[in-house]
Amino acid sequence: MRAIALIAFSVLMQAAAEAFLSGRISSGDSLRFSLLAFLGCTLLFLAVNRVSRSRNRPSKYPSAGVGQWRQFAALNAASAVTFLGLYVALVWVPAAFAASLMAGVGPVAASILARLSGQARPAADWLRSVGLFVASLVTAAAVQPALLDTSSWQSGPAASAAGAALALLAGIGATVLARLSRQLGERGVAPSVVMAHRFHLTYVSAAAALVNGQLVERPHLGWGVTALVAFAGVVIPLYALQVGAQRTAATVTMALLAAQPGLAYLVQGALGYPLAVQGTVAVVLLLLAASAVAHAEHRRPQEHGVTQADRTPAAQETDAPASTGVA
302-315 per-position pLDDT tens digit = 444 443 333 444 44
Whether the CA torsion 150, 155, 159, 161 is positive or negative: it is positive
Q: Using an 8 Å Cβ cutoff, are 93 and 30 in contact?
A: no
The CA–CA distances, whole Å, from 102 to 83, 174, 186, 197, 254 equal 11, 8, 26, 24, 10
Min mean pLDDT across 49-58, 61-70, 170-179, 285-294 is at 61-70
pTM of the model: 0.71
pLDDT in tens, 98-147: 877 887 787 778 778 777 777 766 777 677 777 777 777 777 677 665 44
Please, which pLDDT band fits residue 224 given cuts at 50, 70 and 90? very high
Amino acid symbol at 190: A
Res 271: pLDDT: 78
pLDDT in tens, 189-211: 888 888 898 999 999 999 998 88
Query: Which range marks the domain in which residue 82 is found?
Result: 2-324
Number of domains making up the chain: 1
Q: Using an 8 Å Cβ cutoff, are 315 and 246 in contact?
A: yes
Of 311, 299, 66, nearest to 191 by C-alpha is 311
Average pLDDT, whole number, for the chain?
76
Q: Is the pLDDT of residue 150 over 60?
A: no
* Gyration radius of the chain over CA positions: 19
Of 92, 83, 264, 217, nearest to 161 by C-alpha is 92
Please, which pLDDT band fits residue 33 given cuts at 50, 70 and 90? very high
Res 321: pLDDT: 32
Give the mean pLDDT of 286-292. Answer: 77
End-to-end CA distance of the chain: 25
Res 215: pLDDT: 59
Whether the CA torsion 308, 111, 69, 326 is positive or negative: it is negative
Res 232: pLDDT: 92
What's the CA gap between 254 and 4, in Å, rounded?
11
